[in-house]
Amino acid sequence: MSNERLTTVEEAEEINRRPGVLSITLGELLDTQARNHPDNDALVYVDRGLRYTYEQFNQVCRTAAKGFMKLGIKKGEHVAIWATNVPEWAVTQFSTGKMGAVLVTVNTNYRIFELEYLLRQSDSTTLILIDGWKDASYTGMINELCPELKDLAPGKLNSERLPSLKNVIFLGENCPPGMFSWDQLLDMGKTVSDEELDERQDSLDADDVINMQYTSGTTGFPKGVMLTHINIINNAIATANCMNFSYQDRLCIPVPFFHCFGCVLGTLTCVVSGATMVPVVAYNPIQVLEAIEKERCTGVHGVPTMFIAELSLPEFDKFDLTSLGLELWPVPRVPLNP
């Protein structure tokens, strides 16, 4: 694989202890952790009994990466994801990181006007989405934007309003017409060789943009913030250091993946440490406490309003939270007042 470029990396458990700026890609990072902590839990979902070790997580990310390559997605192409913290989100983050597509994260609260703006402005060629969330139908909105979608074969979209968009990938049961299902993507991935993926991964530069997030636009139109492998991996390392994080830690992640707090300070901070990600699909205080208790989480992320919600549950004292030591409370620009 990419061993030559990793000669400067010490043992994986020391990645987050290494001084200076680490110049590796997301794909190289995950390969390294899968070699050094193959049997450690990487990703665990309490609500659906899903558990991937680092070895398994790396394998599923490799298969999905090959699926994106089979779709013809090139290095630097933009792949948007519009979903709650489902397992496929984390897999997409690292699989696009392996094959070099830029992951464009879409706010789960967006509605049709914002979605159209984001997909157009970002030149996304692929949209990955769930059926919907709360009272919003994501599939309804994409069909409204691209009424031709349902009558075309998957991957053949040619929309007037969204000229760049070709592929729509659906996460969940009962894949609507015109879209690929996640299973189809994984099946396509099985037809691409490991060598082709390794070659692609080796062709990436740690200075390449790999992640794009739209700032919430407290003023004016949302702007796509371009972040490189170096940007986010090193920021996760610094965060892991401040949290005194190691491969023995298990982090409950109830904050949204679409935001840096979820996908850098959350998932990536775990992966640079070889630690375990325990996401909650959509914020719910009971589920957070359940996840902490069942998985013996040593840390939990949150904003003040989340912690307040957890503390004010009548059942709060019934949960065993003795595993917990660490919390991360970010100050997004201005301190939040709960």
Partner 1 sequence: MAGSPCPIESMKQVVDRMGANEITITYGQTEASPAITMTKTDDPIELRVASVGRNIPGVEVKIVDPETGRDVPRGVQGELCARGYNVMKGYYKMPEATHAAIDAKQWLHTGDLATMDENGYCKITGRVKDMIIRGGENIYPREVEEFLYTHPQILDVQVVGVPDIKYGEEVMAYIRLREGIKLTEEEVKAFCDGKIARFKIPRYVQVIDEFPMTGSGKIQKYKLREMAVESLGLQKAASIETA
Q: What residue ranges bind partner 1 (CB under 8 A)?
A: 19-21, 107-110, 121-122, 209, 212-213, 215-219, 223-228, 230-232, 234-235, 238-239, 241-244, 256, 259-261, 264-265, 300, 303-305, 307-308, 310-311, 316, 321-322, 324-338
Neighbours of 50 (CB within 10 A): 12
Alpha carbon distance 235, 264 (integer Å): 7
For residue 322, give Cα distances in angstroms to 33, 44, 250, 285, 326: 28, 19, 13, 17, 11
Nearest-approach distance from CB 252 to partner 1, in angstroms = 11
Nearest-approach distance from CB 89 to partner 1, in angstroms = 15
Nearest-approach distance from CB 253 to partner 1, in angstroms = 15
Q: List strands edge to edge, sheet with 50-53.
A: 50-53, 41-45, 276-279, 250-253, 299-301
Residue closest to 188 by CA, chosen among 63, 88, 60, 96: 63
- By beta-carbon proximity to partner 1, the closer residue of 178 and 299 is 299
Q: What is the DSSP letter of 78?
A: E
What sign does the CA torsion over 211, 43, 35, 10 have?
Answer: positive
Alpha carbon distance 135, 308 (integer Å): 25
- By beta-carbon proximity to partner 1, the closer residue of 50 and 226 is 226
